[in-house]
Amino acid sequence: DGGITQSPKYLFRKEGQNVTLSCEQNLNHDAMYWYRQDPGQGLRLIYYSQIVNDFQKGDIAEGYSVSREKKESFPLTVTSAQKNPTAFYLCASSVLPRGPESYNEQFFGPGTRLTVL
């Protein structure tokens, strides 16, 4: 089945520890994204990547880091610098638009719920 997998589903970490969330897609999509979802806040963009070995900061990148060494994978590291890391993290992917007047539908993974104790 084609899709986006995120692991683990639930993650618990002690305060001050870095933690890496996995995101893998087999949709052959070029673009990948990380969002954070908090109750009553909607989704906010953390980082995105349109091509291997390149990525850009989103609206709330502070305290997070990413890598894009393979097209299929876009792991997110929540560092100890993130002041409020407990949240639901969603990964998404999409094709790149074919021209200036096209659009991309983003497909989402099942999410990882991170709790920092």
Partner 1 sequence: AQSVSQHNHHVILSEAASLELGCNYSYGGTVNLFWYVQYPGQHLQLLLKYFSGDPLVKGIKGFEAEFIKSKFSFNLRKPSVQWSDTAEYFCAVNEGSGGGADGLTFGKGTHLIIQP
Interface residue list for partner 1 (CB under 8 A): 30-31, 33, 35, 40-45, 48, 50, 56, 58-59, 90, 92, 94, 96-97, 99-106, 108-111
For the sheet with 76-78, list strands across it.
Answer: 4-7, 19-25, 76-78, 64-66
Q: Which is nearer to partner 1, 34 or 78 (CB)?
A: 34
Q: Which residues pair with 54 in a beta bridge?
A: 51
Report, in Å, the least distance between residue 20 CB and partner 1. Answer: 21
Q: Which residues pair with 78 in a beta bridge?
A: 19, 64
Q: Which is nearer to partner 1, 8 or 110 (CB)?
A: 110
Q: Which is nearer to partner 1, 86 or 107 (CB)?
A: 107
Report, in Å, the least distance between residue 17 CB and partner 1. Answer: 27
Block residue for tokens 């070029």? 30
Q: Which is nearer to partner 1, 82 or 93 (CB)?
A: 93
Report, in Å, the least distance between residue 42 CB and partner 1. Answer: 4
